[in-house]
Structure formats: structure tokens, C-alpha cells
Structure 1
Amino acid sequence: MALRIVFAGSPAAAVPSLRALAATDHEIVAVVTREDSPLGRKRVLTPTPVADVATQLGIPVLKANRIAPLEARIAALRPDLGVIVAYGGLIREPLLSTPRLGWINLHFSLLPRWRGAAPVQRALIAGDPVTGAAVFQLVAELDAGPVFATLDYAIGRNQTAGHLLDVLAARGADLLVSVVDDLDAGTARAVPQRGEVTLAPKLELDDGRLDWSRPAAELDARIRGTTPEPGAFALLDGDTERLKVLDAAIAHDDAPLAPGEFDLRAGRLLVGTGTDPLHLVTVQPAGKRPMAAADWWRGRTR
């Protein structure tokens, strides 16, 4: 017996799950996503990635930044299950209990570690060696419901938040489908979360600020954890110049530099930190396009 599903999601990270569910025998009776938002310099109103794909798949789309006003419309669809992947809004009662099987959520961390909006970014910034994804039963408390299934993933040494999220979104889609199938078969079993709870609030612009006095490993983690958004940056010349750092690596074998000191060595731009230097690979000066860090430094010091 196939399930009638309401799917709620918005960003590109939710698209693999939507496509994976659409390829099953289950019926997605509606997709809930956030309203169109202005993008680009011309601020053109643009649908979410999930809205685009749902339209391509011929699935009815309901757009709302708050899901509560859609309660009656969702109830009228008589869903068996609600599925949420990075929708960007909270689901509360009575909607929480509207589907026969409630709502399940694909979350990109190993719960209860990194509950909240930015689990992938926070895991990288914290230097976690392993993360993963979890499918859990949605409850009123944030990301606190019992867990049906998880997958572990060893974080790559050079992975950014963007790369890591792409991997977890793809692998998590398969995990999500397996849980949906188990719920349909009546074999799904959820267990309470165990372990220390840590929170992953949404990143602010200042989360990307680099303090060269900090250890190189910490700076490298912050750069990767804030790439592509909100972006890692350093303030130069008495905080008057903003330099975005797009790619960097720890220069373990290079002679140390004073924190914040730049040096061009064998065509590589190094900057001193509290420990090893960092090799700046790609940067983006304010108002300019990304460029090789060494080229930026040569132009700046002429």
C-alpha cells in the first residue's frame, strides 16, 4: 500500500529527497515550500529549488513562509505522512498530528548533536571528524524526536560546508526513502535520542570572521564551515578592507609567520596564524571577482 505524502522543503539540499520519493510508488499529494524570494542584483522573484523541481514533476505546490496558514488545505489532502527536509519553518499542533503517521524529518547531523538550522556548518567549524544524517519523528521540541535511522559519514579533510551538504543530501535521500517504506510496511521503529545535546543556530555574517591569532586548524575549519555561506573573511588595514577567503590550506612544513603577517613564498601566499601559516589559495577582494591569492597580493603590493 502506497502512502499519501505531503513534502515540505525549500533549498537545493531538499531536492534529492523530493526526487527520490517521487520515484517510488508513494504519492506526493503536495509540496510545501517557502515563497518566491528576490535574487541577484536585479532582485528578481525566484522560486525555491524545491518549487522548481516539484513543478517539473507535476506535483501541486503550496508556497508559504509559515506553514500554519496551510493547515486546512493540508488536512483536506488526507495525507498519511508528512516529510520535511530543510523547509525553513516550524510545524506545530494541530498540523503536527494531521497526517496519520505524523511527520518525519531528514536532518543533516547525528542527533542529538547539532540540533538546529546549520548542523553541517557547525560540525565543520567545531572540527568534528564524523557527522551524518538522521531521520526522526517530528515533535514539538526542536529536532528532539525519536530517531528511525542514521548514517555516519567521515568528514573529508578539505570538504567545505557546501560539498558536505551535497553529499549528505544525496545519501540522506536514500535513508529517508527506506524509512518511508518501513513506515508503510509497519516495520519502522524509532528510538529516543541519547547523548549530549548541542545546538546549531543559523550562521550570522560575523561567524565567518577570521582572527589570525587563532590556531591554523581552527581557522581552516572556520573557512570550510562558512563556505559558501556566509563566507569566511578577514579585515585588513585597520578593519577598513574586507578580504573574503574562498580556499586555503594549512602550510604545515613552512616556517612560521607572526599572526596576520603575509609572505609570498615560491608563488604561494602565506599568512601567519597562532600556529602554522595558512596558504591562501583563492580570495575575493571587496567589489571584485574571485582570484588567485598570490595575484591579489602582487597587485596590492605594487
Structure 2
Amino acid sequence: MRLVFAGTPAVAVPTLRALAAQHDIVGVVTRPDAPLGRKRVLTPSPVAEAADELGLPVIKAARLDAEVTAQVSALDAELGVIVAYGGIVREPLLSTPAQGWINLHFSLLPRWRGAAPVQRALIAGDTEIGVSVFRLVPALDAGDVFAMRAVDISADATADVALDVLAIDGADLTRTVVADIAAGTAVATPQAGDETLAPKLGLEDGLLDWHQPVDIIYARYRGVTPEPGAHTTFDGGRLKILAAAPAASDAPRLAPGELGGTKTAVLIGTASTPLEVTRVQPAGRGAMNAADWWRGLRDHDGLRVGS
């Protein structure tokens, strides 16, 4: 098929590569170069870099406006495929490819419609997550579904690790759906079940509440790592929690927010057993091993994090 592809982050790249191996990608739409790093160097998106490597024409756009619609229309694509572009496809662009658009979404729809499905699923403690390929419609992630696949994710996977796994399975599922559409055998069915929403995460979503049980805290840590990042307050500043796991069941009980040190980690008290933290970033400093940070504190008596 003649395809137009829209996507931006690294999780969209496996699908682009899978489709480019079997179809004619007549155009790739991605967001403009963004400033990255301390020097704020303008850097192409991962999808733009992959498209350039594959020799595919690229349209860089912050919004899918009339100009982009005209450019896509000129490509005479049969089908549009979108994976985490970072913008909403509206009419008339929605109807510009002859067979419309399909979307790879990283959830088992209608659960977790929105911008942060994997993150919200992990925070909620979902034991099953997956990928869906559906027909794009004006309503948010509400179109009929061509295919879904549940994917096993490690119980200690953070959001970035889970997304990397889902990106591979999602690429395979999307490739199959596009092949079925090309063959005229694809069937899409209405979504069934209770809808839940997955809005974009903000910094406040990463704040850990030490008055909750450790399993609830750890689920939030997994969901917000690496972005927007798990954190707590300490000595008037923000202490980032970069690596953590529930402590062993025989770990000493600590009051919520109470700190305790070991040779290799820092324990933080919760409403149940402690959270074992192995890497942190104190305010105004670089990332470091939690045990080194603990040893650098002058007085350990009565130290606490959080409010």
C-alpha cells in the first residue's frame, strides 16, 4: 500500500521500520527538531532520524494544519498510520488518505484512552497491558478496533522499559493489520468495556506519598519513571528517586517517610514495609548512589522525607 506515517518518539520507530519493509511509505510526518541536552542543541525526532536513514520524505510540523493537509493530500496515500505523533488528526486531514487513518495505541482499549496509557496502567497496578490498532475517529481513541494483543510485562518494569516491549509487539500487530487492509480482509469491531482515561502526566504525578503501602508507592514509581520522575521532599528541596524496589519482607519497619541507611541503599518507611532506594538525585546535584548520599549526611537521627 501507499502509506503516510505520522509519529515522533522512539517507540514509533519499530512500526515505521516494519511498514517500510513491506509497503511504499510516501511521506513521514513528525514534530519539528527540539532542543535537547544542556546545550539545547536542535535535534531531529527519533522518527525523523529513522526516516532519513530509510530515505523517506519527511514533513516536520508542530500542528496538523491546513498546510500539512495539503502536503499529505499531494502524496496520494491510500492509508495513514499514526503512532505517538503528539498531535490530534482532525478533518479534513482525517479523511485525506483514501482509507483514512489507523492508530497504534499502547493499551487494551477502551481502557486508558489518552496520552499516557502505559504510565497510568502501571500507576493503577494493572497486571495486564497491551496494544491496540484502531481506526482513527474525531473522538479520543474511540474508533473501532482491528486487533488487540495483551503483552507480558515484567513486574519490575518501569514505564520506559514497558513501552520498549510494547513498541515491538505493536509494530508486529500494525504490520498484520495493514496487510489485512491491503488484502481487503480486515475487520474492525466497536470497543467494548468500561472506558478509562490516561491524561498526560505532570510533575505532581511523580510525588510519592509515604503514608501509602509500599506496593502502591512502587506502582507509582514505576509509572512515572523516567518521566516526569518519582520524587519526594527533603531538607526543603526535591529529592528524585531514580531507582527503587520494595524492601525485603524482613526489613525493619520505619514510620512513613522515616529514613534508614544500609551499606548499599536507603530505606524509606511507608504504611507497610519500606521502599529500598538505590539511586537518587538531591536538589542541585547530580545522580548518585543512595548509599553514598546517605553517608554524606552529617546526622542521621530523625531524618525524614516528605511532609
TM-score, scaled relative to structure 2: 0.94
User: Amino acid of the residue matched to residue 39 of structure 2?
Assistant: K
Do 2:202 and 2:228's aligned partners in 1 also have CA atoms closer than 8 Å? yes
User: Amino acid of the residue matched to residue 44 of structure 2?
Assistant: P
Q: Matches of 1:259 and 1:88 in 2, distance apart?
A: 38
* Residue aligning to 1:255: 252
* 1:128-149 alpha-carbon deviations (Å, 9 max, x no partner): 0010000000000010000001
Q: Matches of 1:269 and 1:39 in 2, distance apart?
A: 32
* Residue aligning to 2:229: 231
> 1:33 aligned to 18, 30, 34, which one?
30
1:290 equivalent to 2:303? Answer no
Q: Matches of 1:49 and 1:170 in 2, distance apart?
A: 15
CA drift at 1:276: 1.1
User: Amino acid of the residue matched to residue 141 of structure 1?
Assistant: A
Q: Matches of 2:138 and 2:105 in 1, distance apart?
A: 15
Question: How many residues matched?
Answer: 297
User: Amino acid of the residue matched to residue 210 of structure 1?
Assistant: L
* Residue aligning to 1:95: 93
1:67 equivalent to 2:87? Answer no
CA drift at 1:292: 1.5
> 2:158 aligned to 153, 157, 160, which one?
160
* 1:245-301 alpha-carbon deviations (Å, 9 max, x no partner): 011111222121100111124543211011111111111112322222111111123
Secondary structure in structure 2 of the residue aligned to 1:294: helix
> 2:42 aligned to 19, 40, 45, which one?
45
Distance 1:266 1:77, change over 3 A: closer
Q: Matches of 2:24 and 2:264 in 1, distance apart?
A: 57
* Residue aligning to 2:305: none
* 1:201-231 alpha-carbon deviations (Å, 9 max, x no partner): 1110111011111111111011111111110
Distance 1:291 1:179, change over 3 A: same
Secondary structure in structure 2 of the residue aligned to 1:171: helix
Q: Matches of 2:213 and 2:15 in 1, distance apart?
A: 38
* Residue aligning to 2:242: 246
Q: Kindly report the root-mean-square deviation, in angstroms, between the aligned alpha carbons of the 2 structures.
A: 1.1
Secondary structure in structure 2 of the residue aligned to 1:5: strand
* Residue aligning to 2:137: 139
User: Amino acid of the residue matched to residue 97 of structure 2?
Assistant: P
Do 2:263 and 2:291's aligned partners in 1 also have CA atoms closer than 8 Å? no
Between 199-208 and 149-158, the greater mean CA deviation after superposition: 149-158
* 1:1-22 alpha-carbon deviations (Å, 9 max, x no partner): xx10000000011011111111
CA drift at 1:38: 1.1
* Residue aligning to 2:170: 172
CA drift at 1:83: 0.2
CA drift at 1:78: 0.8
Q: Matches of 2:166 and 2:117 in 1, distance apart?
A: 11
Q: Matches of 2:283 and 2:237 in 1, distance apart?
A: 7
* Residue aligning to 2:193: 195
Mapping 1:1-12, distance limit 5 Å:
3-12=1-10
In structure 1, stretches of 5+ residues that fail to align are: none
Mapping 1:108-123, distance limit 5 Å:
108-123=106-121
* Residue aligning to 1:272: 269
User: Amino acid of the residue matched to residue 245 of structure 1?
Assistant: I
* Residue aligning to 2:126: 128
Q: Matches of 1:214 and 1:177 in 2, distance apart?
A: 42
Secondary structure in structure 2 of the residue aligned to 1:301: coil
User: Amino acid of the residue matched to residue 135 of structure 1?
Assistant: V
Q: Matches of 1:296 and 1:225 in 2, distance apart?
A: 24
Q: Matches of 1:155 and 1:77 in 2, distance apart?
A: 38
